[in-house]
Amino acid sequence: MKFQLTSQLDYEVKFPSTIIFSVCAADTHSQIIVSENLSISPDVKFDEMTSDFSGSRFIRVETGKAQTLTLKYEAVVEQQIELIPVEKIKSTQIGKLAGDIVPYLFPSRYCQSDRLGRFAVDYFGKHETQYEIVVAIASWIYENIEYLPGTTDSATSAFDSVTQRTGVCRDFAHLGIALCRAMSIPARYFTGYAHELNPPDFHACFEAYLGGRWLIFDPTRLSHLNGLVRIATGRDAADTAVASVFGRINCTSMSVNCVPAEDGYQPFSHEQLEQQAVCLEPASKKIKDN
Amino acid sequence: MKFQLTSQLDYEVKFPSTIIFSVCAADTHSQIIVSENLSISPDVKFDEMTSDFSGSRFIRVETGKAQTLTLKYEAVVEQQIELIPVEKIKSTQIGKLAGDIVPYLFPSRYCQSDRLGRFAVDYFGKHETQYEIVVAIASWIYENIEYLPGTTDSATSAFDSVTQRTGVCRDFAHLGIALCRAMSIPARYFTGYAHELNPPDFHACFEAYLGGRWLIFDPTRLSHLNGLVRIATGRDAADTAVASVFGRINCTSMSVNCVPAEDGYQPFSHEQLEQQAVCLEPASKKIKDN
Amino acid sequence: MKFQLTSQLDYEVKFPSTIIFSVCAADTHSQIIVSENLSISPDVKFDEMTSDFSGSRFIRVETGKAQTLTLKYEAVVEQQIELIPVEKIKSTQIGKLAGDIVPYLFPSRYCQSDRLGRFAVDYFGKHETQYEIVVAIASWIYENIEYLPGTTDSATSAFDSVTQRTGVCRDFAHLGIALCRAMSIPARYFTGYAHELNPPDFHACFEAYLGGRWLIFDPTRLSHLNGLVRIATGRDAADTAVASVFGRINCTSMSVNCVPAEDGYQPFSHEQLEQQAVCLEPASKKIKDN
Amino acid sequence: MKFQLTSQLDYEVKFPSTIIFSVCAADTHSQIIVSENLSISPDVKFDEMTSDFSGSRFIRVETGKAQTLTLKYEAVVEQQIELIPVEKIKSTQIGKLAGDIVPYLFPSRYCQSDRLGRFAVDYFGKHETQYEIVVAIASWIYENIEYLPGTTDSATSAFDSVTQRTGVCRDFAHLGIALCRAMSIPARYFTGYAHELNPPDFHACFEAYLGGRWLIFDPTRLSHLNGLVRIATGRDAADTAVASVFGRINCTSMSVNCVPAEDGYQPFSHEQLEQQAVCLEPASKKIKDN
């Protein structure tokens, strides 16, 4: 499926600053950039770099003496997802994880899985398969945490949310990741564009590593799992901030949009998760192979 | 310089468990394994894997029904370090960092640099070069945090230590990392063997990325910076635990040793840092080139 | 019922210190001191004082140059409790609370009821009467928190325990208090002697204010509610430490005992709470009136 | 000195609620209410109560079905303060504190003095007298914490502020209290009206107990110490919230004012603290005695 993405971020620059933006669609074997345009005005210095260990693309901007800054991004991406029948999803044995997956078992800034072990086992230990555990975690979050903008901030972590029980997509994702890791299931943070997200904004979900693949889950249920376009992947929001600022700037406005760029889009419903999981990085189906 | 390492870890196994050990010396271009022997008794299943993004070697053990477990490691490693005159150390511009260094600017489980910004600028903002900042951070920690085993635990983080002001090498390293990152200097956690560490144990230090190189600092001043052998590198202790246990085992005893395996070892003193920094991964001097 | 109490605390004094001890049985209208002996050796200066707002008796000791310190306390107390049929327990309206009860609605050092509001309503909001809520809170803690000495420390609070789910009597009591206050029910911390506590130690429970009376609950279920002798009452453990030390001393040993001093003691079982609540401060039945 | 106070609070009531307001001037031997008028509209049920252990006056309102609520308070109070020459301020010996002062040595919800001990001794341990310590604490806060509305919230505590170094009057007061208690000096929270506060609002300061008297300090330096009218006293903000809501209401607007009601007011400057301390509750000078 092809999606058309646009985003625009406007800033007031208080002080010459370096900003690392994470707004470009990731360029992977299963998500290819059909066309793309990034413009920054005024005409300041910027470059692109890619993190080796997350594949995320960073746009690094030096504001210099600019007093305002507008970043505008437009792209069409083509995405190949895989729907995997639940009965084919194997559990992951820690004893067989590849070395670059292991770190996603460990706690991170906002996902203190080391402190959630008993809670996780109490609530999710009864499920038989790892897939059932992850589905139960995502459902539990959906049912028990209220989506309530303004109740959390950039210091809020999974350990807070599990008790305070309010938050936004970022907090929902952190809690999902922390609970998966506490159950010895590798999990990572996903940021991206989401079709029909209301209100329009960047979105955060989480991916769990099951049977050799990263499967996507959205405990807010605000997106469709086949309507997501990946920007970045990380251990948590600390790795994937839309804008990491080294200096002093204020965001004055933001707009984000994501729509299908071809016909035939059928939204995947959260109920379908009982039959099928969604993988945004299908190992076997490269787009170029099609 | 060559070092001879030995370590032995004894466990009581309560329950069939998977354990991921980080005890083997890292195998890098500047630290080569001359000889090595790892034995685990009883004779259980284990394999080795390497994390792509930290280069750390993990030994993964499945205890099966074993009731006790003894891991014994012996190695001789040859290490090539570089002493860098202070005047040659350039500051690192965020605008020029490679993509795989950028994540070491971000906060992690035990290093909440996002909450230490004002503190760091108040205390260390007056220094002119990044090297001076890092030396000042390491000295401040040495002077203000008391090395006091038993006062902290595995949940203690840099945000706690900056006020509570006691801890062990792990806490000292976390605080060093968090303060560097809060000053926009990439920093990472180092675990390893340390010559003449008293009492003998595994050791933790931190590395800061300056002028395109990782430089090592030990805010406890319990080791000599040229008497360290790297085991693992990570964003903090969450990535580099000596033993990450998935199951239930108790450590019953541990012994660790590290001695020079050739003549001519001259300990590097912490005072020397005013003239020279120590790099354990000199890009230019590969051992095989010698 | 009469109880015989003994306790002995031994300290090593590192430095001339002031210590405030809370070990003497409280002297109230419903708990009278039949006989009492407090001895401190060596023969250092001490005096007794009473907190106006908690009624707790403090023994204040100046160690001077003493290098060891032994406090020995023996007492016989007579206690009048009241068993209140559940159907007679009215709910408490905030609109009718006396001014000196109101502060027990507010959060305190270890009982962050302000952060537990949603959790409390989710779990306990469905009960009809306040008594049912408090019984449900005590049962939930008993069923979901594991009594596990060594897993918590003096910085552990209710906000930690609600997720970490282990602790000792102090942690159980803090969680009970915090959840009651989060449900707008005044609650306070109780420390005392407990008959048949195993292992013998000082004990902590909590009291909830219902229908104009403080009712006692023990979420550990390690004591019998009619086998408790009050030492002190406070907002949480911060107010009622067995020993608050201003200086530097180490406790080297402690022994505590509490046995009935007359015949006819029938332990009150936790199952009885479905029919009857226990009040250790019955307003209507003063011992002197009997 | 006489002051004229006015305050008005407007609320939107979402749900029938009980609210406990702390807006009335305290009625003490040294601060008498010359005239006072409290009106609440619409005409709902309310009563007044006084906390025995803080002397604070609470107005308790039952909103019933009211959909908006306006509380309006006007008063003239006469206040007798005492300026105490620094050389006459004795230090307080814990060994001589009255029982009702002792609890102000203990940690509370927002003042975790138990975790600030080393920090406090490192920074303030060098001063000779307790008065010098408290003045140094208030000055350190003024110099190191930036007054920055919007950076903290109702969960922010002294342990956060000591590192994060921003906040409002509430945070400044909490940090002052926590540091005093960590130095074994009793300290409490003061809320009140402040002359010339800009922007106009209720204000928070702290009082330290020295030489048998409570002395007032304002680490924000936004008020004059002789231009304060006490509303309430507590262990921290948890005890003295302007409005403690049991239910659901939103504050829609607030106005606060405090002006001298007679001639001759000479603001006390913070520099004067080197010569004189300010006591708002002079034991010896009762207004009625004048």
Residues in A touching B114 (Cβ below 8 Å): 109, 154-155, 238
How far is the alpha carbon of B68 from chain A, nearest alpha carbon, in Å? 19
State the average pLDDT over residues C41-65.
Answer: 85
Number of inter-chain CB pairs under 8 A, A vs C: 31
Beta bridge partners of B7: B73, B256
Which secondary structure element, helix H or strand E, spans residue C14, and what is its range?
Answer: strand C2-21
Q: Where in chain B is the domain with CATH 3.10.620.30?
A: 82-240+268-289
Q: How far apart are CA B232 and CA B224, in angstroms?
A: 18
B97, A47 contact by CB (below 8 A): no
Angle of the D130-144 helix axis to the D169-182 helix axis, nearest 10? 140
CA of C255, closest CA in chain A: separation in Å?
A: 32
Secondary structure E strands in B42-112: 45-50, 57-62, 68-79, 82-85
Tell me the pLDDT band of D53, cut-offs 50, 70 and 90: low
Asked if omega into D200 is within 30° of 0 (cis), the reply is: no
Task: Tell me if B31 sits within 8 A of B229, measured CB to CB.
Answer: yes
Task: Retrieve residue D128's tokens.
Answer: 């000779």
Query: Where residue C166 falls among pLDDT bands split at 50, 70, 90?
Result: very high
User: Closest to B102 (Cβ–Cβ): which among A20, A107, A155?
Assistant: A20
**CA dihedral (A111, A114, A116, A122) positive or negative:** positive
**A109·B105 Cβ contact <8 A:** no
Say if the Cβ atoms of B115 and D163 lie within 8 Å.
yes
Q: H or E segment at B65?
A: none
Q: How far apart are CA A52 and CA A49, in angstroms?
A: 9
SS3 content of chain A, % helix, strand, coil (to 5): 25, 40, 35
pLDDT at residue C80, as a whole number = 92
Every domain range in chain D assigned CATH 3.10.620.30: 82-240+266-289
Distance from CA of A175 to the nearest CA of B (A): 14
- B226: distance to nearest CA of chain A, Å? 28
Check: CB of residue A12 under 8 Å from CB of residue A70.
Answer: no
Contact residues on chain D for C93, CB-CB shorter than 8 A: 18
Backbone dihedral region for residue B73 (phi beyond 0: left; psi -120 to 50: alpha; all else: beta): beta
Class of domain B82-240+268-289: alpha beta
pLDDT at D230 over 60: yes
Which of A118, A146, A166 lies at the smallest CB-CB distance from C166? A118
Q: What is the pLDDT of residues D143-197, one digit of tens each?
A: 999 999 999 999 999 999 999 999 999 999 999 999 999 999 999 999 999 999 9
- What digits encode the pLDDT tens for the residues C203-228? 999 999 999 999 999 999 999 999 99
Tell me what the mean pLDDT of segment A24-28 comes to.
92
**8 Å CB contact between B227 and B258:** yes
Chain CA centroid to CA A211, Å: 20
Q: How far is CA A33 from the centre of its chain?
A: 18
d(CA D112, CA D118): 12
| Amino acid code (one letter) for B205 | C
Considering only CB atoms, which residues of chain D are within 8 Å of chain B? 115-116, 118-119, 122, 144, 146, 159, 162-166
User: Across the interface, do C115 and A163 touch by the CB < 8 Å criterion?
Assistant: yes
Task: Tell me: cis bond preceding A200? Omega within 30 of 0 counts.
Answer: no
Residue A260, classified by CB atoms within 10 Å of its CB into exposed (0-12), middle (13-18) or buried (19+), is middle
Give contacts of D164 with chain B, Cβ < 8 Å. 115, 118-119
Contacts B153 to D, Cβ<8 Å: none
Let me know: does C61 contact C19? Beta carbons within 8 Å: yes
What b/e string do you get for A89-127 counting C-beta neighbours within 10 Å, with b at 16 or more?
Answer: beebebeebebebbbbbbbbbbbbbbbbbbbbeebbeee
pLDDT tens for each residue of D215-228: 999 999 999 999 99
Q: Which residue type, as a one-letter code, is found at position A76? A: V
* A71: number of Cβ within 10 Å: 21
Contacting residues of C for D115, CB less than 8 Å apart: 155
Q: What is the DSSP letter of A65?
A: T
Residue D209 burial by CB count (10 A; 0-12/13-18/19+): exposed, middle or buried? buried
* Residue C196 reports pLDDT greater than 50: yes
Q: Structure pTM? A: 0.93
**Nearest CB to A118; choose among C118, C119, C164:** C164
| Contact criterion met (CB < 8 Å) for A163 and C166 | no
At the topology level, CATH places domain D2-79 in Immunoglobulin-like (2.60.40)
Distance CA B214, CA B236 (A): 15
E strands of D42-110, at which residues?
45-50, 57-62, 68-79, 82-85
Q: Which residue has the tokens 């998966």?
A: A180
Residue contact B163–D164, C-beta within 8 A: no
Question: B20-68 pLDDT, tens per residue?
Answer: 999 999 988 899 999 999 999 999 989 898 876 666 888 999 998 889 9
- Contact list in D for residue B146 (CB cut-off 8 A) is 118
Average pLDDT, integer, range D206-213? 95
List the CATH code of the domain at C83-240+268-280. Answer: 3.10.620.30
A137-163 core/surface letters (b: 16 or more CB in 10 A; e: else):
bbebbbebbebeeebbeebbbbbbbbb
What would the mean pLDDT of A135-160 be, rounded to a whole number? 96
- Cβ contact A228:A213 at 8 Å: no
Q: What is the pLDDT of residue B290?
A: 36
Q: Which chains touch A (3+ CB pairs under 8 A)?
A: B, C
In chain D, ranges of CATH 2.60.40.2250 domains = 2-79
CB contact under 8 A, D105 and C154: no
What is D82-240+266-289's CATH number, 3.10.620.30, 1.10.10.10, 3.30.70.260, 3.50.50.60? 3.10.620.30
Q: Which residue among B47, B60, B95 places its CB closest to the CB of A18?
A: B95
**Average pLDDT of the residues of chain D:** 92
Give the closest residue to A202 by CA, choosing from A61, A2, A1, A5: A5
What is the rounded average pLDDT of the residues A272-284?
A: 88
Q: Kindly report the backbone phi and psi dihedral angles of residue D61, in degrees, each rounded to the nearest multiple of 5, phi listed first.
A: -120, 135
Contact A5, A229 (CB under 8 A): yes
CB–CB of A184 and B50 under 8 A? no
Q: Cβ-count burial of C154 within 10 angstroms (0-12 exposed, 13-18 middle, 19+ buried)?
A: exposed
Q: Which of C75, C76, C74 is nearest to C9 (CA)?
A: C74
- What does the block give as tokens for B176? 């060093």
What are the DSSP calls for D165-223, one per residue? -EE-HHHHHHHHHHHHHHTT--EEEEEEEETT-SS---EEEEEEEETTEEEEE-TT--S
Interface of chain A toward chain B, CB-CB under 8 angstroms = 18, 20, 45, 47, 49-54, 58, 60, 62, 93-95, 97-100, 102-103, 105-109, 111-112, 114-115, 154-155, 184, 234-235, 238-239, 244, 246
Q: What was the pLDDT predicted at C199?
A: 87
